[in-house]
Amino acid sequence: MIQNLQCFNEKIEALKELLTENKKNNVLTGAGISTESGIPDYRSKGTGLWERFDPMKYVSVTALMTDPKKFFDFNIPTWTKYVNAQPNIAHKVIAKLEEMGYIQTVITQNIDGLHIKAGSKRVREVHGHLRTCHCIECKKTFPFEEMSGQYFSGINPPKCSNCGGMLRPDVVLFEDPMGKDYLKALEDMEGCELLVVVGSSLQVYPVADLPSFSKKLVIINKEETPWDRYADLVIHESIGEVFRHLAEIMYINVN
């Protein structure tokens, strides 16, 4: 429920003005944008996945290499749900804003691929994605379904059909270096006039430092972030409601 509707409407109008008056606008999204698609977030107080599980024990390079069976038992069932999820109103409106020329690049910390499913074209998946996997030995690439299909048929850890090496997802695990998309995101942030942060706690570095490259900053997140004090506009409301109202006042049809 929106606590103060008048204040909320004023903030949505301010968001519209910022998007339309600035020429180079980027969006940075985190797990919070996908919760309305049925994907839980990681760091919300009381409900975040990492409040219940230590990611270093389950989603790190060390976890994969020291106990791959445990790694896949924890991750494959969850990741399969991500693969089957569908974009929500926020993903769809962001795609339309890009199509209309109000957003240049979508930078996402998410691996769920929902921005691409929603129609966004210029997407930087800085933590990787779940469309493919690869062999850690011969480096051959396979569809993600090759890895998940083997797992669900009882093969754990999944094996490369080319050399027998272990498969791993094309996501940035804890202890992995950042990939090429992060370097592209840094390039995209050059000259950024407005960065709209959506559903990110801005606690995971180096991505959490991206707001420092933008002249203006908007944060749309249900909980406070370390960057709130520096933002030109902060909206602590449902992300779905924010983009539903923004679509109304900007005459955006996502049906």
Annotated active-site positions, please?
127
Q: How far, CA to CA in Å, does 184 sit from each of 111, 122, 193?
A: 17, 11, 17
Residue 135 annotated in ligand binding: yes
User: Which residues, including other chains, have CB under 8 Å from residue 251's CB and lie 6 or more apart?
Assistant: none
Look-up of token digits 């109000």: 102
- Measured CA distances, 18 to 40, 178, 246 (Å): 29, 30, 12
Is 160 annotated to bind a ligand? Reply is yes
- What is the identity of the amino acid at 193? E
**What residue has token string 């996502």?**
254
CA distance 93 to 106: 12
| Degrees to nearest 5, angle at CA 21 with 15 and 23 | 110
Residue 138 marked in a binding site:
yes
| Residue 163 in marked binding region | yes
Q: Residues at the annotated binding site for Zn(2+)?
A: 135, 138, 160, 163
Q: Residues at the annotated binding site?
A: 135, 138, 160, 163
